[in-house]
């Protein structure tokens, strides 16, 4: 397929439809509006369901219902709306349901602003809703990757029966880049996907099928049963941690002067700075977590070669990921941080200066 120039918001929507998503429920919010608008235009053309919900709370609960019925379903929002979805995401996790949630982050807290930010890292990676649960969190750094993650997210959600969040931001949502899409799934392939969960999902009893009483539920009133349920969830999370970590190692080698860590939009800017410094004869490495849960602790630990005297973390928040980097570094070297908030994005020059300062 030829490349097309597209906004991230539209690219992820198109990719979701191509991945077999035929149900989408959401509430408008900047800077993700192109996503909901794209879905409203395109889903009816493929006999899909687009529904503008009365709130993000309603939207995520519609997702809970459709996921409980075993079909590929997605919702999207930006930071304030994602906060409202947290109740539903906890229920989806508790009920072992597959679902995809896109967060096009903006500045917070509260109403904040509508510029790009990464302030929802804690919320996305540490839970966000109540209870012991995890959401797989994918952090794209380009429009192409944003689009590719739609199909990854659905596959992961279906494989593990887990909510998967794509954690992007207003920059990736709004900017246009060339993107190449995968082949769209055929109607037969989609029908197969829609039938893959018949052993547990809500569906009519079909000819020849035994009567079934499937329960979509997160309630276990008996503490011993709930204990087992939560431990079973933990087993699933351990399995995901052992199999699904994705990370990009950029110029990581045993002669690195410094290792930087950044994800998403921030990582692109850091990469420009790293390129400039390396062109000037330095040897700086960059680790870019692609999954921010599960987190690539081992990759960071293994990159601490002899000459690395410091690890620098760059984020568009006040250092939320630093905690994870420190866990990985485990006190071996100091961990420094530079970030911007309020929807202000740092420049490559600022990053370059920060790296030089800390070399």
Q: Which residues bind another protein (CB under 8 A)?
A: 23, 25, 49, 51, 53-55, 57-59, 61-71, 73, 87-88, 91, 95, 201-205, 211-219
The least CB distance from residue 89 to another protein, in Å, is 11
The least CB distance from residue 135 to another protein, in Å, is 17
Which one, 67 or 322, has the nearer CB to another protein?
67
The least CB distance from residue 96 to another protein, in Å, is 13
Which one, 25 or 337, has the nearer CB to another protein?
25
CA distance 259 to 300: 9
CA distance 256 to 161: 40
Which one, 133 or 337, has the nearer CB to another protein?
133
Which one, 190 or 266, has the nearer CB to another protein?
190
The least CB distance from residue 55 to another protein, in Å, is 6
Would you state the structure tokens that stand for residue 23, as one six-digit string? Answer: 């149900």
The least CB distance from residue 205 to another protein, in Å, is 4
The least CB distance from residue 266 to another protein, in Å, is 34
The least CB distance from residue 197 to another protein, in Å, is 11
The least CB distance from residue 22 to another protein, in Å, is 9
CA-CA-CA-CA torsion for 74, 83, 59, 40, nearest 10 degrees? -60
Report whether the peptide linkage leading into residue 146 is cis, meaning its omega lies within 30 degrees of zero. Answer: no
Contacts of 112 (CB under 8 A, 6+ apart): 79, 80, 106, 119, 342, 343
CB 250 within 8 A of CB 284: no
Which one, 158 or 169, has the nearer CB to another protein?
158
Which one, 85 or 352, has the nearer CB to another protein?
85
Which one, 50 or 346, has the nearer CB to another protein?
50
- Closest by Cα among 148, 64, 147, 123 to 98: 64
- Closest by Cα among 24, 315, 14, 289 to 169: 315
CA distance 74 to 90: 16
- Closest by Cα among 297, 317, 323, 292 to 135: 292
Environment class of 263 (CB within 10 Å of its CB; exposed 0-12, middle 13-18, buried 19+): buried
Strand ordering across the sheet containing 335-339: 247-250, 284-289, 258-261, 311-315, 335-339
């Amino acid at each position: 397929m030829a490349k097309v120039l597209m906004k991230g918001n539209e690219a992820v929507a198109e990719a979701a439809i191509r991945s077999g998503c035929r149900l989408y429920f959401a509430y408008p919010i900047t800077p993700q509006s192109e996503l909901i608008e794209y879905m409203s235009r395109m889903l009816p053309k493929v006999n899909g369901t687009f529904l503008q919900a009365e709130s993000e709370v309603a939207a995520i609960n519609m997702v809970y219902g459709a996921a409980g019925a075993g079909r590929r379903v997605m919702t999207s929002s930006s930071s304030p709306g994602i906060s409202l979805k947290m109740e539903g995401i906890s229920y989806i996790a508790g009920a072992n349901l597959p679902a995809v949630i896109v967060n096009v982050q903006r500045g917070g807290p509260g109403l904040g602003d509508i510029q790009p930010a990464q302030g929802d890292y804690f919320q996305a990676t540490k839970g966000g809703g109540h209870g012991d649960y995890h959401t797989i969190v994918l952090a794209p750094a380009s429009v192409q990757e944003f689009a590719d993650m739609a199909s990854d997210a659905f596959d992961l959600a279906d494989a593990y029966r887990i909510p998967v969040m794509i954690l992007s931001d207003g920059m990736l949502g709004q900017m246009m880049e060339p993107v190449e899409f995968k082949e769209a799934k055929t109607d037969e392939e989609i029908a197969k996907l829609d039938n893959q969960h018949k052993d547990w999902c809500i569906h009519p009893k079909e000819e020849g099928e035994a009567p079934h009483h499937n329960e979509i539920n997160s309630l276990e009133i008996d503490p011993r049963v709930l204990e087992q349920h939560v431990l079973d969830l933990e087993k699933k999370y351990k399995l995901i941690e052992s199999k699904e970590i994705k990370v990009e190692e950029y110029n990581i080698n045993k002669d690195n002067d410094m290792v930087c860590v950044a994800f998403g939009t921030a990582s692109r800017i850091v990469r420009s700075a790293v390129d400039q410094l390396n062109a000037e004869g330095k040897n700086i490495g960059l680790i870019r977590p692609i999954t921010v849960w599960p987190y690539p602790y081992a990759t960071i630990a293994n990159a601490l070669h002899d000459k690395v005297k410091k690890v620098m973390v760059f984020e568009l928040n006040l250092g939320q990921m630093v905690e994870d980097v420190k866990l990985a570094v485990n006190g071996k070297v100091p961990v420094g941080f530079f970030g911007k908030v309020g929807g202000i994005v740092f420049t490559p020059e600022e990053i370059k200066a920060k790296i030089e300062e800390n070399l």
